[in-house]
Structure 1
Amino acid sequence: LAGGGLDVLVSNAGIGLSGPLELHDEAAMEAEFQTNLLGGLRMARAVLPGMRARKAGLILPVSSQLGRIVMPNMGGYCSGKWGLEAAFEAMAYELAPLGVEVTIVQPGGYPTRIWETGAKAVEAMIARNEPERVRAYAQHIAITRASMTAPRRSDPMDVAHAIAALIALPAGDRPLRRPVHPDTSVTTAVNKALSDVQDRVLSRGPYAAWRAAVSG
């Protein structure tokens, strides 16, 4: 931003709250959905009037591999990220005729503070639950705690470099999704399979041109 309009929005706020879904009380789900889904949509709504007026702009919501894949003990997190993926794919089609692009960034597990803050949120959530529920999910809780502290050796700068590369691409050449991780094979396969489904759903009718304008 240098005296003109906002060119790019990166929505990267996230909370990594895990554990079995029965233990996710309203406070836990509120924190996850407000941060991982609704926060990104609020930010997009704030910047879109200016981008639409200029018929240019790029929105980069940061999702996750778990926005396309489901893991036990990660149901709350997956739900928010799946919602993010759906919302911003729909937005990509809606913005296609208005000159604004969307690329959904899909990182894998990186060693950032999301694990530290998530572990604190998990312990607070467990403490709010009735003892019977906690006892019933003892094995799940042990797996959850181990996963939050497991070593992750990938470089978080991978994500920053991927975002910079997306911004540098010419308008019209950016993909709808960009997986980021040393191993993106599973995410890429899921993206390809669901992209084929979207082609079948939208290749005819009033949205065909919008779908054609969105790559992937």
Structure 2
Amino acid sequence: MTIRTWFITGVNSGFGRELAEQLLARGERVAGTVRREGSVDDLRDKYGDMFWVGRLDVTDLARVREVVDAAFAALGGIDVVVINAGYGLFGAAEEFTDDQVVHQITTNLLGSIQTARAALPHLRAQGGGRIIQISSVAGLAAHPGASLYHAGKWGVEGFMEALAAEVAPFGVEVTLVEPGGARTSFAGSSLRLSRPLSAYDGTPAAAVRAFKDVAVPVPGDPAKVAAKIIAGADVRPAPLRLVLGSDCHHAATAALRKRLAEVEAQRATAAETDA
């Protein structure tokens, strides 16, 4: 087994926590970020110098670069950068406050972009590495009530796909992880809802209001998802997308087929604007 050094944002819960636990148990080194001091003291106490922790709120874009630089300096190099920090914000687009819009996009999109940008000079200098972006089925298929969450995830998809081609000449690879629903804390501490407008009662967008009140069965096992991500880091060439979960595969293929059919149906009319 190759012993690597990983940098993971958001290791206090969800996939980030699961990844950190599995990697440390395997004897690999982990640099993790948390927003709240003390939230991973148990891992720090257990693994000591194998686990480096930095305090980071990814909405502080200048701080992102400081923490990434500090992690590379402290550990002497990082093989895999996992961009994981984020949260869900759901509701009809009209229901969000301006502050909610800015905070969601800054966290899920700009924070991801800045983390990748901060890591790239180091990865280029060391001659390669892997960037793993935790995306979602929400980056491939869209549903009412999740417009703002989709905006962040679809933005990340476009950024990372273009970035993969940009950095390939330097030996840096990029993988987008596409999990479906999984039994993490996402539906609890990582999920926020807009303040409902009565105008949307009974509409498709209102269905998301039940997320926090109704136990929705999800097929994904977080431990299995993390194990697949870890195994995927060894695959060469790197897969641009790693689809995890039967629900993700079903939703993504249905959405992509529908989109392709809509585009193909306009082949003749699209050509009407050619010179």
The TM-score, its normalising length taken from structure 2, stands at 0.61
Q: Give 2:198's aligned residue.
A: 135
Unaligned runs of 5+ in 1: 127-132, 198-216
Residue 146 of structure 2 aligns with an amino acid whose one-letter code is: M
Mapped pair 1:161 → 2:227: yes
RMSD: 2.4
Take 1:100 and 1:191, find their aligned partners in 2: how far apart are those partners? 28
Number of equivalenced pairs: 184
Take 1:142 and 1:86, find their aligned partners in 2: how far apart are those partners? 28
Unaligned runs of 5+ in 2: 6-28, 30-74, 264-275
Whether contact under 8 Å (1:179, 1:187) holds in the other structure is no
Deviation track 1:110-167 (CA, whole Å, cap 9, x = no partner) reads 1211211355x31xx31xxxxxx71112224751122443232421123201211111
Rg (Cα) greater in structure = 2
Mapped pair 1:185 → 2:257: no
Q: Give 2:209's aligned residue.
A: 145
Runs of 4+ in 1 over 6 A off after TM superposition: 191-194
1:175 to 231, 236, 239: 239
What is the CA-CA distance between 1:77 and the residue it aligns to? 0.5
Higher relative contact order (CA 8 A, sep 6+): 1
More helix by share: 1
Q: Helix, strand or coil: the match of 2:88?
A: coil
Mapped pair 1:78 → 2:144: no
Residue 16 of structure 1 aligns with an amino acid whose one-letter code is: G
Identity of counterpart residues, as a percentage? Answer: 39
Q: Give 1:203's aligned residue.
A: none
The TM-score, its normalising length taken from structure 1, stands at 0.76
Take 1:38 and 1:167, find their aligned partners in 2: how far apart are those partners? 24
Take 1:68 and 1:182, find their aligned partners in 2: how far apart are those partners? 14
Q: Give 2:184's aligned residue.
A: 112
More strand by share: 2
What is the CA-CA distance between 1:51 and the residue it aligns to? 0.5
What is the CA-CA distance between 1:182 and the residue it aligns to? 2.8
